[in-house]
Structure 1
Amino acid sequence: MSLKPVLGLQQTQSLVMTPQLLQSIKLLQFNAVELEQYVSEEIERNPLLVRDESRSSEDQQPQPQQQSEAEIISERLDASLENLYPDDPGRHDTISPDLSAQWKSAGGHGSTLSDDDWNAESFAAAPRTLRDVVQEQIPLIFRDPADRFLALHLADSLEDSGYLADFDELPVRTGTTRAKLERILMTLQQNIEPPGLFTRNLCECLAIQLRAKGRLDPAMEALLDNLDLLARRDFAALRKICGVDESDLADMIAEIRALDPKPGTAFASGSSAPVVPDVIVRPAPDGSWRVELNEEALPRVLVDQAYCAQVSARSGKQDQAFISECLQNANWLVRALDQRARSILKVASEIVRQQEAFLTHGVSHLRPLKLKTIADIIGMHESTVSRITANKYMLTPRGMFEMRYFFTAAIASADGGDAHSAEAVRNRIRQLIDQETADNVLSDDALVDILKKEGIDIARRTVAKYREAMSLPSSVQRRREKKALAAQR
């Protein structure tokens, strides 16, 4: 057998993922915050990209009708500052020459003050953190510098909840004995505000708060030592352990519920950003639903063609290649953002069409829906619909919902009719449990019977799974809790 080179022609198919195609896929699954951050980075990187400020400037432009009305009211009332304070020489719109010089020497850039120069945020105090609150109190509690040093080390080990972390490692880290750290810790627990900080578990946290209120008696200590029984609503065992009757136990439980299990979270510095809807659904005059993109969630960018032509006329070959690449990337980004907006609108419109009964009547009419169903109807791939609906929100007359909320599994109908949405079934289970009384608590089997009478074919283990997913206790625990609440009344 001889080996020699041979020319041949072969046809194959392969998927080539270009960098721009990969970035287009990423753009689909970006939420509003991530998209804004990405566009800002591209604008800094590409000199040919600029923001379209035309719409925002039109929105900020004052209405001439409102201006004229304000001038008419001002003339009628004659409420100018000169008339209100005729003898006050300091009421001027400009700064005096001496103050102007001082302003410029301090870094100012002009001698007039306008509304734009006033920034209330620069005068607002920074939020106090848990560490700030603790460090302010430690010098007042400890006079010895060595004790103060150890107390500050304990403060560094505080979690955001107010609990103490890694206490066993502190003796090695600080080079002191455990007994001395225990003494410092006990002093902090007894004197620091709010009570409950510097504790190592929930029982210790609640005990310190009760001691501060003068309510830590032996019965309450026994209750705190058996919080697991309280979590299981085993009130009969708790009454026996604490040596109290049903009324006293109900009062003790009410006192514990009034305590703060995480006292440090009151000083949490982090703030959750509001969710910006990508799509807004409003009722139309003809009784249908109008689906619109939220312009606040869509960054508007343009290609600066004039600047591109100006720079191209004065650049050499090497610069021309750079400008051509920037122009290509800028045009691609504008098209990609437009395609992303069209795709979101197309998917959202079909979701609204499929879930019209939900918008009209509520969650009980939510239909089971799959990503593939939407993909087949609008002619997209299922993975594309999955990326579009990820981290996107829809504002409807019934509230704000993530787009994935409308895709739920199907529960078969007991009478052979249309299937029921799993989310609608969960909502029905919650409604039935909320309507319970102390004398009529529904077991999982009773819930199954009620749902089957309503045409929902569901197994008992599925009911238990849905109930546990909603953090709803079992029927035994609910019965104990409702009887305890009834005894309190």
Structure 2
Amino acid sequence: MAATQRLELRQRQSLVMTPQLQQAIKLLQLSNLELAAEVDRELEQNPLLDRDEGANDTLLDSPSMDQQAEAVDPTSEREVADPDTVQRSTAENLPSSADEPLDTDYENVYTGGAAFEGPGSEPAFSTRGAAPSGDDEFSLEQRLSGTLTLRQHLSEQLQIEIADPTDRAIGACLIDQLDDNGYVTGDLVELAGQLGCPFERLEAVLHLLQGFEPTGIFARSLAECLALQLKERDRYDPAMQALVENLELLAKGDHARLRKLCGIDQEDLAEMIAEIKALDPRPALSFEGEVAQPVIPDVLMRPDRQGGWIVELNAETVPRVLVNSDYYAQITSAVRSKKEREYLNERLQSANWLVKALHQRATTILKVATELVRQQDAFFRKGVEHMKPLTLRDIATEIEMHESTVSRVTSNKYIATPRGTFELKYFFTASIAGANGTAHSAEAVRHRIRLLIDAESSKDILSDDTIVELLRKDGVDIARRTVAKYREAMRIPSSVQRRREKAGLVNQT
């Protein structure tokens, strides 16, 4: 068969991830701290981007208090706890992509809010931008900058208590071996070999360091940590030593065996246990190594006067950036080469896309949060027992987005509510079958299990099988292994361990 050449025309569809689309997806899944760092990098790299420091800018034309929302249609087929108190979040009442701020005018600044506004005169559920708050001249970070760290505290004691330079060097290495709780980690024999000193000398330095403050530091185990604190209080007698050396029996609640090992009665054992509980098992935690970053909510929620909810973006977590059109016009007139013109146009396009991506991110977060609040209305009004089973697909279907988008939006994003601050993913819980075709949230079932166990008496400890029977009487169809899994996840001991613990408390009284 002879080889021939020919031309063919074929059509095919393919998904192309443009750099702009990749940037939008990347920004969507970032937390507010990561987003701030990313925007800072863009501001450094793009001369056409500026940070807006204006305090009087409004957030995407937030509506007035009388025009914040539109009441939902009572005839809606969607099942909600109270359909008259929430607004349906659809594409019709959200800003369209055509309204996104893409022009380069200096006045067009993205400030990170979105307004849901409708014609209804009785607003019941609204979403709007939050007013920015002023910066505190004396911030928490500034006040914490002079905090004494554990390493500094121990190093100061090392310089005072140990004069020999070699022992000081060994002590400095041992300080490096401390974990977050203040325990010495690693193989000390291997460390002595690395330092080229006898193990006995390293151990002697370790004993000196164990006398440093805070008491219990440089212990190699929990038992040694407690023993150091008891010795400092002059309470480490033979009976207490036997108790500390058998902490596993104390954890199991085996008081009978402990009384036998320590040679004491129940009253003495109760007093010794109380002393153990008063000690600090993690002495290093009294010193802060790094400043803990508080959770800053991305979305704020509060009750409305009409009985609904107001959901708004937290302006403190939304970067305020703008495209400097004046600077663009100024340097455009001075551009001579094609390469410079191409670079300038690329920077302008990148700046516009960043503004658009930030707007899309804020709008999407607000859209998802609004629907989550609407779906979980019963939880916010009545508590965790009324949490509704919810999946990513449920939210994605209602707001007409893809599940992957909802997943990215709810990761590392937090909402401050009257019931506390929660990650958005908290509201997605598995469904557990109930009577008459109803479904129960896994979180609500876990809460019921905890309430049942908290209410049990020392004479009537509930086994997992008994909990299953009680839940089934309430219409929750659950397996025993599921109850055990939930109980262990909440760190609740088994019925045998709880019986021992509560029997010990009764004996103490």
TM-score by length of 2: 0.80
Q: What is the alpha-carbon distance in structure 2 between the residues aligned to residue 121 and residue 350 of structure 1? A: 35
Q: Aligned letter for 1:7?
A: L
| Alignment partner, residue 196 of structure 1 | 216
**Do the aligned residues in 1 keep the contact of 2:192 with 2:202 (CA within 8 Å)?**
yes
| Alignment partner, residue 329 of structure 2 | 309
- Write the deviation string for residues 191-232 of structure 1: whole angstroms up to 9, x where unpaired: 322221121111111111111111111222222222122222
| Alignment partner, residue 90 of structure 1 | none
| Alignment partner, residue 247 of structure 1 | 267
| Alignment partner, residue 194 of structure 2 | 173
Q: What is the alpha-carbon distance in structure 1 between the residues aligned to residue 502 and residue 204 of structure 2? A: 43
> Which of 472, 481, 485 matches 2:492?
472
- Write the deviation string for residues 254-274 of structure 1: whole angstroms up to 9, x where unpaired: 111111111122123212112
Q: How many residues were matched structurally?
A: 431
Q: Aligned letter for 2:38?
A: Y
Q: What is the alpha-carbon distance in structure 2 between the residues aligned to residue 301 and residue 118 of structure 1? A: 25
TM-score by length of 1: 0.84
| Alignment partner, residue 10 of structure 1 | 10
> Which of 126, 137, 146 matches 2:157?
137
| Cα gap change, 1:385 to 1:58, in 2 (>3 Å) | closer
Of 136-145 and 31-40, deviating more is 136-145
Q: Aligned letter for 1:408?
A: T
Matched, 1:44 2:44: yes
| Alignment partner, residue 473 of structure 2 | 453
CA displacement at 1:148 relative to structure 2: 3.1
Q: Aligned letter for 2:32?
A: A
CA displacement at 1:165 relative to structure 2: 2.0
**What are the within-5 Å matches in structure 2 for residues 291-330 of structure 1?**
291-316=311-336, 317-330=338-351
**Do the aligned residues in 1 keep the contact of 2:303 with 2:310 (CA within 8 Å)?**
yes
| Alignment partner, residue 333 of structure 1 | 354
**What are the within-5 Å matches in structure 2 for residues 22-421 of structure 1?**
22-55=22-55, 126-166=146-186, 167-189=188-210, 191-316=211-336, 317-413=338-434, 415-421=435-441
**Do the aligned residues in 2 keep the contact of 1:160 with 1:268 (CA within 8 Å)?**
no
Of 296-305 and 47-56, deviating more is 47-56
SS, match of residue 150 in structure 1: helix
Of 232-241 and 212-221, deviating more is 232-241
Structure 1: gaps of 5 or more residues: 60-115
Q: What is the alpha-carbon distance in structure 2 between the residues aligned to residue 120 and residue 473 of structure 1? A: 39
Q: What is the alpha-carbon distance in structure 2 between the residues aligned to residue 381 and residue 8 of structure 1? A: 36
CA displacement at 1:149 relative to structure 2: 3.2
**Do the aligned residues in 2 keep the contact of 1:48 with 1:305 (CA within 8 Å)?**
yes
Of 468-477 and 118-127, deviating more is 118-127
Give the number of the structure whose residues are more often helix, by fraction. 1
| Cα gap change, 1:476 to 1:123, in 2 (>3 Å) | closer
Higher-Rg structure is 1
Q: What is the alpha-carbon distance in structure 2 between the residues aligned to residue 124 and residue 164 of structure 1? A: 27
The percentage of counterpart residues that share the same residue type is 54
Q: What is the alpha-carbon distance in structure 2 between the residues aligned to residue 29 and residue 120 of structure 1? A: 27
**Do the aligned residues in 1 keep the contact of 2:413 with 2:423 (CA within 8 Å)?**
yes
CA displacement at 1:247 relative to structure 2: 1.8
Q: What is the alpha-carbon distance in structure 1 between the residues aligned to residue 352 and residue 166 of structure 2? A: 65
- Write the deviation string for residues 29-72 of structure 1: whole angstroms up to 9, x where unpaired: 0111111111111111111111222236899xxxxxxxxxxxxx
CA displacement at 1:147 relative to structure 2: 3.0
CA displacement at 1:394 relative to structure 2: 1.0
CA displacement at 1:125 relative to structure 2: 6.5
Q: Aligned letter for 2:44?
A: E
Structure 2: gaps of 5 or more residues: 60-135
Q: Aligned letter for 2:414?
A: Y
Q: Aligned letter for 1:23?
A: Q
Q: What is the alpha-carbon distance in structure 1 between the residues aligned to residue 426 and residue 140 of structure 2? A: 39
The higher-RCO structure (CA 8 Å, 6+ apart) is: 2
Q: Aligned letter for 2:41?
A: E
| Alignment partner, residue 443 of structure 2 | 423
**Do the aligned residues in 1 keep the contact of 2:440 with 2:476 (CA within 8 Å)?**
yes
| Cα gap change, 1:249 to 1:182, in 2 (>3 Å) | same
CA displacement at 1:433 relative to structure 2: 1.6
The two structures, once aligned, show a CA RMSD in angstroms of 2.2
SS, match of residue 54 in structure 1: coil
CA displacement at 1:118 relative to structure 2: 9.3
Q: What is the alpha-carbon distance in structure 1 between the residues aligned to residue 485 and residue 277 of structure 2? A: 27
CA displacement at 1:117 relative to structure 2: 10
